[in-house]
Chains A and B, each alone.
Chain A
Amino acid sequence: MLRFLLFRLALLIPTFVGVSIVAFAFIRLLPGDPIMMLAGERGISAERYAELQAAYGFDRPIIVQYLDYLWGLLHGDLGTSVVTRRPVLDEFFTLFPATLELSLCAITLAVFLGVPLGVIAAVKRGSWVDQSIMGTALVGYSMPIFWWGLLLIILFSGILGWTPVSGRISLLYFFPPVTGFMLIDSLLSGQDGAFRSALSHLVLPSIVLATIPLAVIARQTRSAMLEVLGEDYVRTARSKGLPPARVIGLHALRNALIPVITTIGLQIGVLMAGAILTETIFSWPGIGKWMVDSVFKRDYAVVQGGLLLIAGIIMLVNLIVDVLYGLVNPRIRH
C-alpha cells in the first residue's frame, strides 16, 4: 500500500511539469497580452507599453520566463495577478470554497440519484421505467450545459420566480466567511432566512452541474448491475432465502459499485470543466468564473496557477478513488 501510494505520488511530478508547460504556452498563444488588455480601448503609447512589459518581465525570452515561473513554483509561489495584484494562491483559496460547495452538492446529487436510478432501471430492465430513466439520462447527457442552465433559469427564475438568477446569497445578508461554505456560514450567522436564501441560490447551479455526471453514473450503474445480476453469486444469495432488497442492494450492488466508483472518479474532471460553464451562467463566484475572467484579461499568472491547482485537485481525487477502489474490491487490495 505504501509503495503504491509513493509510486502514485511520484507520478504527480511529471504530470505537474507537463501541465505547467501546457498552461504556460497556451495562454501565451492567444493574441494580446495583459498590458494590452489593461490598457483597454484607449490604447497605450509604445514607450509606456515597453516600460510595463519590462516591469512585468514579459520582454524576456519565453524560456527564461518559464524557468523563472518554475523556480517560483518550486518555492510555492504561483505568481501574482496582474489585474488584482494579489497572490494567485490567496485568490484561489478565497474562491475555491464556492466551487467546492457547488461541486460537492452536484456530485452528491449525481451519486445519490444516479446510483438508485441505475439500479431501478437494471432491475426493471426493458420496462417503461427502465426506458424512461435511460431516455432521460441520454437527454441529460447530450444537453449542452450552458443551454440547459439558461432553460432552467427561464423556467424557475423567470416564469415561476422560485429561485434567484445568480450569485450565492441575497445581497441583504452579510456575514464574514468562516468555512467558506455559504450553507454552513449562513447557519452560523444566525440571521433569519440566510440559510434559505443560500440554499435557493445553490439549487439551480447544482442541478445544472450534476446533470451530466448524473446521467453517466445512472447509465454505468445500470450496465454494471445488469452484468452482476446474472452472476452465480446473486443466484446463491437468492437461494439462501434472502429478501430481494438485500440480494440487490448488498450482494449485487456491492459488486456493481466497483466500476461505478471509477466512473465517479472520472466525473470529477467533468465536474471541474462543467463548473467553468455553470459558474459563468449563474455568476457563481468560484474558480471556474475566475479562470474564465482571467483568460479574457490574459492574466497569465492566474490562468497558469489556476490550471495547475485544478489539475492537482483532479489528480488527488483520482488517487483517493484508486485507494477507495482497493477497499471496495478485495481482489485487488494493494
Chain B
Amino acid sequence: MALLEIENLTVEFDTSGGTLRAVDGVSLSVEAGEVLAIVGESGSGKSVSMLAVMGLLPWTATVKADRMTFQGRDILNLSPSDRRRIVGKDISMIFQEPVASLNPCFTVGFQIEETLKTHTDLDRKARRQRAVELFHSVGLPDPERRLGSFPHQMSGGQCQRVMIAIALACGPKLLIADEPTTALDVTIQKQILDLLLDLQAKTGMGLILITHDMAVVAETADRVIVQYMGRQMEEADVLTLFESPKHAYTKALLSALPENATGDRLPTVADFDLENTPSTGGA
C-alpha cells in the first residue's frame, strides 16, 4: 500500500474574474522511503496540490479528487479536527521562505515545543530534551542556547534547519518540502538538501520535493513528476527522465538548463515550440 495516493486531483479557486483551475487532474503516489520530485515552472500547481493534501488552502479553493488517501485512509473528506491530528504529526511540510515561515514573536524553542505539545504526551522537561535532540540532529550548533533565539537572530539556512526540526518533531511518515532551498545561498542549498536526504534515509519516511530546479531533481529524486499549467505532463524515474524525456515540455525544461546556454543568453522554456511538437506520454 502506498503512503500517499492521489487520483485525479483538481483544485479550483473562486476569483473575482471567475473560476481558476490551478490543478487539473493530477495523480501521484509516494511509497515509504521514496523521494518523489515534482517539477515545473511557477504557477504550474506544484505547491497548490501539496497544500491541498495538507488542507492549507484558503477557503476560496475547492478541492476535488477521485481518491486521496494517506496510509489507506481517506484524507479528502476529513473533518478539520481529524485532519489536525494527522497534519504536523504524520505528514509535515516545510516551505520556501524559512525566515518568514517562523513566527517572529516567539523563540524557535517555543515553536518546536508547541508541535510536540500538540501531538505528544511528553511533559515540559521531556519536550525540551526532545527539542535539543532535534536541533542537534538537523545540525544546529549549541542547541540548548539556540532554543532561546528568535528567528530574526538566525540566518536563512539556520531557520530552514529549525523548520526541518519542527517538521520532523513527531516522526512524520511523509515530509513535503516546498522549494526548501530556493530562498537560500547556493552553498547552503547543498547543505540543506544533503540534510533532508540524510534524514530521509535514516527515518525511512517518504519525501516529496517540490522544485523547479532540474539539478536538484537529478541529485535527489527517485521518481519525478513534471507539471505544467496545473496538468501532469510526465511521470518517470529520474534516470529515464533525464535520458529520454518523452514529453515535449519535459524536453523544453531540460533544454532550459543553464548549461545549454548559447552565446550570452540563457535558454527559456518559451524558446521551445511546445505547440508544434507532438506530445507523447504524460497524463
Q: Residues of A at under 8 Å CB distance from B?
A: 231-233, 235-244, 251, 254-255, 328-331
Chain B residues with Cβ under 8 A from A329's Cβ? 104-105
Which of the residues A241, A255, A328 comes within 8 Å of B85, measured between beta carbons?
Answer: A241
Min Cβ gap B152→A in Å is 5
Of A239, A244, A251, which is within 8 A of B54 by CB?
A: A239
- Please state if B119 and A241 are interface contacts (CB–CB under 8 Å): yes
- Are B152 and A330 touching (Cβ within 8 A)? yes
B 72-94 contacts with A by CB, 8 A: 80-81, 83-89, 92-93
Chain A proximity of B155: nearest CB distance (Å): 15
Given A233-B100, A236-B95, A330-B150, verify A241-B105 contact (CB < 8 Å): no
B83: nearest residue on chain A (CB-CB)? A241
Chain B residues with CB under 8 A of A251: 103, 106
Complex alpha-carbon distance, A242 and B87, angstroms: 9
Q: Find out whether the CB atom of B105 lies under 8 angstroms from the CB atom of A328.
A: yes
Asked whether, in the complex, the Cβ of A242 is within 8 Å of the Cβ of B104, the reply is no
Q: What A residues does B84 contact at CB under 8 A?
A: 241-243
Q: Which B residues, 106 to 143, have Cβ-Cβ distances below 8 Å to chain A?
A: 106, 114-115, 118-119
Does B163 lie at the interface of the complex (its beta carbon under 8 Å from any beta carbon of A)?
A: yes
Contact residues in A for B83 (Cβ distance below 8 Å): 241
Q: In the complex, are the beta carbons of A241 and B104 less than 8 A apart?
A: no
Interface size bracket, B side: 20 to 34
Q: Which of A236, A238, A241 contacts B102 (CB 8 A)?
A: A236
Q: Which residue of B lies closest to A237 (CB)?
A: B103
In the complex, residue of chain A having the shortest beta-carbon distance to the beta carbon of B166: A240
Find the B residue at minimum CB distance from A329. Answer: B105
Name the residue of chain A whose CB is nearest to the CB of B153: A330
**Alpha-carbon distance between A239 and B93 when the two chains are bound, in angstroms:** 7
Q: Beyond the given A235-B95, A251-B106, A255-B103, could you list 18 further A-B residue pairs with CB under 8 A, ordered by the A residue number?
A: A232-B95, A233-B102, A236-B103, A238-B87, A239-B93, A240-B88, A241-B85, A241-B88, A241-B118, A242-B84, A243-B81, A251-B103, A255-B104, A255-B105, A328-B105, A329-B104, A330-B105, A330-B150
Residues of chain A within 8 A (CB-CB) of B163 are 236
Q: Which residues of B contact A (CB under 8 A)?
A: 54, 56, 80-81, 83-89, 92-93, 95, 97, 100-106, 114-115, 118-119, 150, 152, 163, 166
How many A-B residue pairs lie within 8 Å, measured between CB atoms? 70
User: Which of A231, A241, A244 interacts with B87 by CB under 8 Å?
Assistant: A241
What chain A residues lie within 8 Å of B88 (beta carbons)? 239-242
- Cβ-defined contact, B103 with A239, below 8 A: no
Q: Which residues of B contact A238 (CB under 8 A)?
A: 56, 87
Contact across chains for A330 and B104 when beta carbons are under 8 A apart: yes
CA distance A241 to B100 in the complex (A): 18
Known: A235-B56, A235-B95, A236-B163. A242 touches B100 (CB 8 A): no
Instruction: Give the distance in Å from the alpha carbon of A236 to the alpha carbon of B163 in the complex.
Output: 9
A231: which B residues are within 8 A, CB to CB?
100
Q: Which residue of B lies closest to A239 (CB)?
A: B93
* B114 neighbours in A (Cβ, 8 Å): 240, 242
Check A232 against B54 for contact (C-beta < 8 Å). no
CA distance in complex: A238, B150 (Å): 20
The interface centre, meaning the residue of B56, B81, B105, B106 with most chain A CB atoms within 10 A of its CB, is B105
Residue of B whose beta carbon sits closest to that of A333: B150
B89, B93, B101, B163: which has the most chain A beta carbons within 10 Å? B101
B80: chain A residues within 8 A (beta carbon): 244
* Known contacts A241-B84, A242-B84, A235 near B101 by CB under 8 Å: yes
Cα A329 to Cα B118 with chains together (Å): 25
Interchain nearest-CB distance for B31 vs A (Å): 22
Most chain A CB neighbours (cut-off 10 Å) among B83, B101, B103, B152: B103
Q: How far is the CB of B57 from chain A (nearest CB, A)?
A: 10
A240's nearest neighbour on chain B, judged by CB, is B88
8 interchain residue pairs of minimum CB distance:
A241-B88, A240-B88, A232-B100, A233-B103, A241-B84, A241-B87, A232-B101, A254-B105
Question: Which chain A positions have C-beta within 8 A of B105?
Answer: 254-255, 328-330
Whose C-beta in chain B lies nearest to the C-beta of A233?
Answer: B103
Q: How far is the CA of A251 from the CA of B119 in the complex (A)?
A: 18
- Shortest distance from the beta carbon of B207 to any chain A beta carbon, whole Å: 16
22 A–B contact pairs at CB < 8 A?
Answer: A232-B100, A232-B101, A233-B101, A233-B103, A235-B101, A236-B95, A236-B101, A236-B103, A237-B103, A238-B87, A239-B54, A239-B56, A240-B114, A240-B166, A241-B115, A243-B84, A255-B104, A328-B105, A329-B104, A329-B105, A330-B104, A331-B104
Shortest Cβ gap from B93 to chain A (Å):
5
- Chain B proximity of A127: nearest CB distance (Å): 11
A329–B54 alpha-carbon span in the complex (Å): 30
Q: Measured between C-beta atoms, what is the minimum distance from A168 to chain B in Å?
A: 41
Interchain nearest-CB distance for B175 vs A (Å): 11
Measured CA separation A52–B204 after assembly (Å) = 97
A238 to B92, CA, bound (A): 11
Docked pose: A316 CA to B104 CA in angstroms: 28
Q: How far is the CB of A30 from the nearest CB of chain B, in Å? A: 50
Given A232-B97, A251-B103, residue A242 in contact with residue B118 (CB < 8 A): yes
Expressed in whole angstroms, the Cα–Cα distance for A241 and B81 within the complex equals 9
B103 touches A240 (CB 8 A): no
B186: min CB distance to chain A, Å = 22
